[in-house]
Structure 1
Amino acid sequence: MPFRDVVGHRAVISRIAQAVAGDSLPPSVLLTGPGGVGKRLVAGAIAQALNCGAPRRDASGPAVDACGSCSACRRIAGGAYPDVLVLAPGEGGSITVDQVRVAIEQVGYRPFEGRRRVIVVDDADLLVPAAQNALLKTLEEPPPRSQFVLVTARPDMLLDTVRSRCPRLRLGHLGSDDVAGILLRRPGIDERAARSAAAAAGGSAGRALQLASSGHEGTREAAIGLLRSVSAARDTRARLAGAKDFAAGRGSRRAPAADRRELRERLQMLASLLRDIAAVAAGAAVPLANADLDGALRDLAGAWGGARGPRAFAAVYEALDAVERNVGPKVVADWVACRL
């Protein structure tokens, strides 16, 4: 996908395109940002721009973009170009030192066909420490005509020595309209579902697609149920009873990662509902992500308006951070129910 087709992030993409045009893109870069905002697409666009057979110059400024249709662009997009290698976690959930050694060996050769050998390290935070250490010298002294792009939503998981060798390019959250536009390009997603999922996804197109594709009524019902049970609870035991219904996968045999993913979605929906409830309580004339629940939102506004709303909102985001740190779903659900 060429730079021009990537949704959002225009300022960062413009800087990258100008650096490619001026042959000044650092040979090792760290592409960071929240999950589901297009980091992998930008990495692919860099690989295409560096190897496109018919690059386009921007008439309005010093920038270059791939054509998107030449043989090189098509094969890069399809993962079949000899000078672009993508390292990704294997079955064990990590990127091994052997994978890195293969990449280092390949990047030491001249490009087979294109102008640059590009190594994209996807989910770079999953590089095992030995693999990160093996990569250090190459990042510090990359071979001529090579380009490393490390992609991660968790740069804090990389060694300081790796981060220090890679200038950071940070992508932010997407706007709700941009996310909805991405969803509307997918078959089977209507405008109402797209806008509802986009509003609940916190600026992540990937997360919104999951919500819209799977349907999020169950997620929303769980979030509303927690708000109702906590607002009616008279003691901690009653709050924990509400948390039991809210915790994803409680008592199931699913993988822990699936439980954490579902709890993350429920917490994000909880944040979306609290945002709408705050708007209703304040009488603000703003679009609501859950406008179809107007009656329920008004019922909840009495209990969750005022100063309690911001405190609850902060608790939800602390809980989301705990999920990212792999705290167990039961512990997180119990904690957030007691903090709301």
Structure 2
Amino acid sequence: MTDPGAYALLVGQTAAVEAIAAAARDAHRADGGVGVMTHAWLITGPPGSGRSNLAYAFAAALLSEPDQDDDRVRAQVDARTHPDLAVLASDRVTITIDEVRRLVTSSQYSPSVAHYRVMVIEDADRMTERTSNVLLKALEEPPERTVWILCAPSEADLLPTIRSRVRLVRLKVPEPSEVAGLLVQRDGVDPGLALRAAEEAQSHIGMAHRLATDEEARARRDDSIRLVLETDTVPKAVRGAQRLLDIAKADSAALTQEREDAERQTALASMGIEPGGAVPPQLRGVLRQLEEDQKRRATRGLRDGVDRVLVDLLSVYRDVLVAQLRAGLPPVNAVWSAEVAALGARTRPTATLKALEAIGDARRRLPANVPPLLALEAMLVSAVLARAA
């Protein structure tokens, strides 16, 4: 039940792991006493901290037999194929009310092979208020052996009524050295490259892995940083906004293309159609639905890609401000230290703060459906004008 391998991807989260492991032990107590286990949990933490990893490790522990390390169950949970596990993980901008209704209906079923039925919602913060209220009813009157595990960046992202019905487990931002150690041990990455990737990803485990193992991803990040450091006029800002959008599109496409191709091939194979073969008219609706789902996911993917670029730019101006204030903090972008110092020397801290504010404004505008290009143009123009002031 507390096999370290189940929590291997959770670096720097000792307190959270201990809390979840204690709950899993308590869930299988033979005496049925009241302990730390409850029917609904909320796991919060910054992106890349391991929220879903902890949720599925908890699910595997609940679905295993007491005091046994069940590799079979863990493999089923990893593949999302366990009969008593239901998962809602949406790549869309929002989770739909119909998706939550189907999950709530599924939560009423009794466990088929395990002692519990486990319901996981990976991005609970993507629910609207109306959708959240559908989930709320299920949390208020849960079946005896159903456990809900919600994941979100912060408890503030959920309705107060839902927060009041869940037990909270908070994840913290791990140290870059801890993330680097994971990359070295798990992926065989060179220690120097692993530490650089962990620092530039700001301890986001998934992004650190990508930067450490994908040279093109590192090149795209370097391009965006070089661009913002060299942008010092309004015309350059307007042209640079389009270039940043192109970088975000390329980054998003690299993440989704392989998945979309695999989804299409799987769909064709399930219909008995050979690669390159003609699709019968009566089956074309299936592919159209898949393509529509992929388009909706692409909208979310582009927004996430732009946001990743903006987070990188935040780290650059953060380094500039640290240099200007002589704060003595380690830089996020160590390989750009000379360029960062040069920008800090020819601008004032007030200009840097305005640039940071402009980037924050751009990140807030994206979820409000402001066109990404306009958001990027406004951000870069504001940063340039702040330098000149």
Please give the TM-score of this superposition, normalised by the length of structure 1: 0.79
Distance in 1 separating the partners of 2:367 and 2:173: 17
CA offset at residue 95 of structure 1?
4.3
Aligned to 2:6: 2
Give the letter for the 1:240 counterpart: V
Distance in 1 separating the partners of 2:249 and 2:23: 52
CA offset at residue 151 of structure 1?
1.7
Alignment partner of 1:243 is 2:253: no
Aligned to 2:147: 147
Give the letter for the 2:168 counterpart: R
Q: 2:249–2:305: 8 Å Cα contact kept in structure 1?
A: no
Alignment partner of 1:309 is 2:352: yes
Residues 221-236 of structure 1 mapped to structure 2, 5 A cutoff: 221-230=223-232, 233=233, 236=234
CA offset at residue 42 of structure 1?
0.8
**CA offset digits 1:70-111 (Å, max 9, x no partner):** 433333233232222212227x66544554444444433432
- Which has the larger displacement, 150-159 or 46-55? 150-159
Q: Secondary structure in 2 aligned to 1:2? A: helix
Q: 1:31–1:149: 8 Å Cα contact kept in structure 2?
A: yes
Alignment partner of 1:268 is 2:311: yes
Match among 7, 10, 22 for residue 18 of structure 1: 22
Q: 1:38 to 1:301 in 2, by over 3 A?
A: same
Give the letter for the 1:48 counterpart: A
Q: 1:324 to 1:174 in 2, by over 3 A?
A: farther
CA offset at residue 144 of structure 1?
0.6
Q: 1:260 to 1:210 in 2, by over 3 A?
A: farther
Q: 1:244–1:250: 8 Å Cα contact kept in structure 2?
A: no
CA offset at residue 43 of structure 1?
0.6
Give the letter for the 2:58 counterpart: I
Aligned to 1:337: 380
Give the gaps of 5 or more residues in structure 2: 27-34, 254-297, 384-389
Distance in 1 separating the partners of 2:207 and 2:12: 16
Q: 1:112 to 1:165 in 2, by over 3 A?
A: same
Q: 2:316–2:333: 8 Å Cα contact kept in structure 1?
A: yes
Distance in 1 separating the partners of 2:99 and 2:240: 46
Distance in 1 separating the partners of 2:116 and 2:352: 52
**CA offset digits 1:199-232 (Å, max 9, x no partner):** 22233212323433343223222222223222xx
CA offset at residue 7 of structure 1?
1.6
Give the letter for the 2:12 counterpart: G
Q: 2:248–2:309: 8 Å Cα contact kept in structure 1?
A: no
Q: 1:250 to 1:82 in 2, by over 3 A?
A: closer
Aligned to 2:76: 75
CA offset at residue 19 of structure 1?
3.3
Distance in 1 separating the partners of 2:353 and 2:96: 43
Q: Secondary structure in 1 aligned to 2:165? A: coil
Give the letter for the 2:80 counterpart: G
Q: 2:176–2:199: 8 Å Cα contact kept in structure 1?
A: yes
Q: Secondary structure in 1 aligned to 2:231? A: helix
Q: 1:16 to 1:258 in 2, by over 3 A?
A: closer
Give the letter for the 1:257 counterpart: R
Alignment partner of 1:108 is 2:112: no
Q: 1:18 to 1:308 in 2, by over 3 A?
A: same
Aligned to 1:277: 320
Aligned to 1:290: 333
Alignment partner of 1:299 is 2:342: yes
Residues 114-129 of structure 1 mapped to structure 2, 5 A cutoff: 114-127=114-127
Q: 1:274 to 1:80 in 2, by over 3 A?
A: same
Q: 1:169 to 1:96 in 2, by over 3 A?
A: same
Q: 1:124–1:151: 8 Å Cα contact kept in structure 2?
A: yes
Give the letter for the 2:360 counterpart: Y
Alignment partner of 1:31 is 2:43: yes
Distance in 2 separating the partners of 1:41 and 1:72: 15
**CA offset digits 1:28-78 (Å, max 9, x no partner):** 1222222221111111121122232253xxxxxxxxxx73x4433333233
Distance in 2 separating the partners of 1:109 and 1:173: 37
Q: 1:9–1:172: 8 Å Cα contact kept in structure 2?
A: yes
Give the letter for the 2:90 counterpart: P
Give the gaps of 5 or more residues in structure 1: 56-65
Residues 127-138 of structure 1 mapped to structure 2, 5 A cutoff: 127=127, 131-138=131-138
Q: 1:32 to 1:288 in 2, by over 3 A?
A: closer
Please give the TM-score of this superposition, normalised by the length of structure 2: 0.70
Give the letter for the 1:274 counterpart: Y
- Which has the larger displacement, 213-222 or 277-286? 277-286
